[in-house]
Amino acid sequence: MRFMTTPDNAADTPAEAADDTAPAATGVAAQDWDTASADPQYRAAVVDLLGALAYGELAAFERLAEDAKLAPTLSDKAELAKMASAEFHHFEQLRDRLAAIGAEPTQAMEPFVAALDGFHKQTAPSDWLEGLVKAYVGDSIASDFYREVAARLDSDTRGLVLAVLDDTGHAGFAIEKVRAAIDADPRVGGRLALWARRLMGEALSQSQRVVADRDALSTMLVGGVADGFDLAEVGRMFSRITEAHTKRMAALGLAA
Amino acid sequence: MRFMTTPDNAADTPAEAADDTAPAATGVAAQDWDTASADPQYRAAVVDLLGALAYGELAAFERLAEDAKLAPTLSDKAELAKMASAEFHHFEQLRDRLAAIGAEPTQAMEPFVAALDGFHKQTAPSDWLEGLVKAYVGDSIASDFYREVAARLDSDTRGLVLAVLDDTGHAGFAIEKVRAAIDADPRVGGRLALWARRLMGEALSQSQRVVADRDALSTMLVGGVADGFDLAEVGRMFSRITEAHTKRMAALGLAA
C-alpha cells in the first residue's frame, strides 16, 4: 500500500507535531518495541494491527492479480502484476515481523479474514476502470488510517508500518488511466463517482465490524492504552480520512 | 518456472554432452548474443522464444494467484502467492532482456497469448489439488522443453533462460501436499492421474498450434537455423519430455 500524505496528517513527523489537534509524541511513540511491549495490552494491539495489515496486503495481492485479468493491454496487465508482487513483499515483511515478536502469523491474520474478504466480495469491480478506482481509493483510505495509527506506535513498529505503506505505484498509474477514460467519455465519471462512494461506504462498514470485534485494537484506538486516541480524536481522524478521500476524488475528476 | 533435471537432459552441460543422441555444443551454442544475432533468422527465433517464455511467466503468475484463492489455509495461500511473485520477477527479467535487444516486449509476447490463454482456459483446476498438480506438471513440462532448447542457444540467451527456469519452490510444495492427500484418500490418486493426462494432452495440442504458427521458432527447432534440431531429434525430444513426465507422475503416486 501507499500514499499521499494528507494535509492534516502529521504521522511522518510525530515528534514535531505542533498543531493543537495532534497529540504530542510522548509515551509509547517515544519508546522502542522492547520497552513498549512490556505492556501485554499494547502488545496484543500491535499483533492485531500487524495481523490486519498482513492480511490486507495478501488480500490486496489477490485482488490486484485478479484485476490484472481485466487489463485491456499486456503492458497494463504487467503493471498490475508488478503492484501485486509489491504487495506480496510487504506481506512477507509483516509476516516475518509477527514471527520475530513471537506471534503466530496465521493466527494473527485470522480475525481479519472475514472483514477483508467481505469487503472485496462486496466490491468486486465489474471492469478495468472500477478495478483501478478501487485500488486507488481502497489503498488511499487504508494508508491514511495506518499513518494516523502509526503516530501512536512504538518506534520499531512505526518504522515497519510506514515502510509497507510506501508507494507501490498505484496512484500515478490509476490517476492517469482514469483521467484519460473520463476525457474520452465524460459519462464514465458519473458511474465511477458512484462506485467510489460505494467503496467508501463498504470500507467504513467493515471497519466498524473489526473495531467492534477486536478489543485490544479498539482500546488502543479509543484510548486506554498508552497514547491511544480519545473518542473525539477518533471522530476527527475519520473526518480527516473522509476529507482526504473527497480531495482525491476531485483530483481524479470525480465528485465524491 | 523451475525444475528437476531429467536423466536424459544434458542441457545444463551442453559443452560436455557426450552421449551420441545429444548434439555437440558447437556453432551458436559456442557464440555470444552479439555474434549469433547477426543472423536475422536466429534473432527472430530468440525474440519468439523470449516472448513465449515471458508471456508464459505472466500467465503463470495469474494462474498461481488465481489458485491461491483455492488454498485451504492462509499459509498455503501465502505459499502460492510467493510462487506467483517469483514468476513475476522472472517475467521482468525476460521483458527487460527483450527490451535490451531492441525488441518490443508486448509485440514479442502477443503471438503466444492465444495458445497460453487457451491452455489455461481448457485446464482451469476445479479444486486446490488439481491446481497443485497443474502447477507441478505444467511447469515441469515447460521447463524440460526450455532446457532442451537452451542447449541450442547462444551463451547469453542460454544463461537467462536457465536462470528463469530456476526452482521457485513448486515441486517440493506440490509433491508433499498431493502425496498427503492421496495417503488420506487413495481414490484421489485416480482422479488426479486422469487430470494430469488431460494436462499433458492439452499442452501438446497448444504446442503444436504455436509451432505451426511461428516460422522462425519452428525453423530453429527442426533445423535450418544454426544448431537446430532435425526432425528425428524433435521426436526424441518429445519422447524424453513424455518419459520425464511419466516418471514424475509415478514419483507423485499417480499412474501417468
Distance of CA B53 to CAs B71, B87, B94, Å? Answer: 26, 11, 8
Q: What is the mean pLDDT of residues A40-50?
A: 91
What pLDDT band is residue A227 in, cutting at 50, 70 and 90? low
B88:A89 CB<8 A: no
- Res. A2: pLDDT tops 60: no
pLDDT for residue B226 = 47
- Res. A69: pLDDT tops 70: yes
Candidates B65, B89, B106; nearest CB to A74? B106
Q: Which residues of B touch A77 (CB under 8 A)?
A: 58
Distance of CA A188 to CAs A34, A178, A181, A185, Å? Answer: 51, 9, 7, 6
Among A196, A198, A169, A202, which residue's Cα sits nearest to residue A253? A196
pLDDT for residue A146 = 85
Task: Output the average pLDDT for chain A.
Answer: 82
Q: Spell out the domain ranges in chain B.
A: 36-251
What is the longest distance spanned by two Cα atoms in chain B?
57
Task: Output the average pLDDT for chain B.
Answer: 82
Q: CB distance from B61 to chain A under 8 Å?
A: yes
Most confident range, picked from A12-21, A113-122, B213-222: A113-122
- Residue-wise DSSP of B190-253: HHHHHHHHHHHHHHHHHHHHHHHH-HHHHHHHTSSSTT---HHHHHHHHHHHHHHHHHHHHHTT
Q: CB distance from A98 to chain B under 8 Å?
A: no
What pLDDT band is residue B252 in, cutting at 50, 70 and 90? confident
Q: CB distance from B58 to chain A under 8 Å?
A: yes
Q: CB distance from B85 to chain A under 8 Å?
A: yes
* Chain segment A119-165, per-residue pLDDT in tens: 998 899 999 999 999 988 888 888 888 888 888 899 999 999 998 88
- Residue B146 vs residue A166, higher pLDDT: B146
Estimate the crossing angle of helix B128-150 against helix B40-68, to 10 degrees. Answer: 160
* Chain segment B58-75, per-residue pLDDT in tens: 999 998 998 888 999 999
Q: CB distance from A61 to chain B under 8 Å?
A: yes
- Angle formed at CA A33 by CA A29 and CA A37, multiple of 5 degrees: 100
Q: CB distance from A77 to chain B under 8 Å?
A: yes
Q: Which residues of A touch B75 (CB under 8 A)?
A: 105-106
Give the C-alpha separation, A32 to A30, whole Å: 7
Question: Quick one: residue A226, left, alpha or beta (phi over 0 = left, psi -120 to 50 = alpha)?
Answer: left
Give the C-alpha separation, B184 to B177, whole Å: 11
Q: Can you name the CATH fold of A37-251?
A: Ferritin (1.20.1260)
Residue of chain B with shortest Cα separation from A106: B74
- Res. A21: pLDDT tops 70: no
- Angle formed at CA B93 by CA A86 and CA A169, multiple of 5 degrees: 30
Nearest CA to CA, how far is A158 from chain B (Å)?
24
B209 CB-contact burial (10 Å; exposed 0-12 / middle 13-18 / buried 19+) = middle
Q: What is the mean pLDDT of residues B244-251?
A: 86
Q: CB distance from B78 to chain A under 8 Å?
A: yes
What pLDDT band is residue B165 in, cutting at 50, 70 and 90? confident
B82:A69 CB<8 A: no
Cell numbers found for residue B191: 482422479
Which of B77, B89, B91, B168 is the best residue to mutate to test the A interface, defined by the most A CB atoms within 10 Å of its own CB?
B77
pLDDT for residue A222 = 64
Q: What is the mean pLDDT of residues A221-242?
A: 67
Give the C-alpha separation, A24 to B162, whole Å: 55
Candidates A88, A92, A106; nearest CB to B74? A106
Residue of chain A with shortest Cα separation from B109: A74
Amino acid identity for residue B12 in this structure: D
Give the C-alpha separation, B207 to A17, whole Å: 62
Q: CB distance from B74 to chain A under 8 Å?
A: yes
Residue of chain A with shortest Cα separation from B66: A66
Residues 6+ apart with CB under 8 A from A161: A49, A53, A146, A149, A150, A153
Which of B70, B73, B74, B110 is the best residue to mutate to test the A interface, defined by the most A CB atoms within 10 Å of its own CB?
B74
* ipTM, two decimals: 0.70
Q: CB distance from B91 to chain A under 8 Å?
A: yes
> Which residues in B91-129 are b (16+ Cβ under 10 Å) and which e?
bbbbbebbeebebebbebbebbbebbeebbeebebeebb
Q: What is the mean pLDDT of residues A173-184?
A: 89
What pLDDT band is residue A105 in, cutting at 50, 70 and 90? very high
- Res. B253: pLDDT tops 90: no
A106:B61 CB<8 A: no
Give the C-alpha separation, B245 to B198, whole Å: 13
Q: What percent of chain B has pLDDT over 90?
A: 37
Q: Provide φ and ψ at A253, rounded to 5°.
A: 90, 15
pLDDT for residue B157 = 93
pLDDT for residue A231 = 66
Q: What is the mean pLDDT of residues A3-14?
A: 39
Give the C-alpha separation, A163 to A12, whole Å: 11
Residue A126: Cβ within 10 Å count: 10
pLDDT for residue A173 = 85
Give the C-alpha separation, B129 to B212, whole Å: 33
Question: Quick one: residue A223, left, alpha or beta (phi over 0 = left, psi -120 to 50 = alpha)?
Answer: left
Give the C-alpha separation, B123 to B131, whole Å: 9
Judge: domain B36-251, CATH 3.40.50.150: no
Q: Provide φ and ψ at A151, rounded to 5°.
A: -60, -20
pLDDT for residue A107 = 96
Candidates B78, B105, B113; nearest CB to A58? B78
Nearest CA to CA, how far is B10 from chain A (Å)?
33
Q: What is the mean pLDDT of residues A105-111?
A: 95
Candidates A78, A88, A113; nearest CB to B82? A88
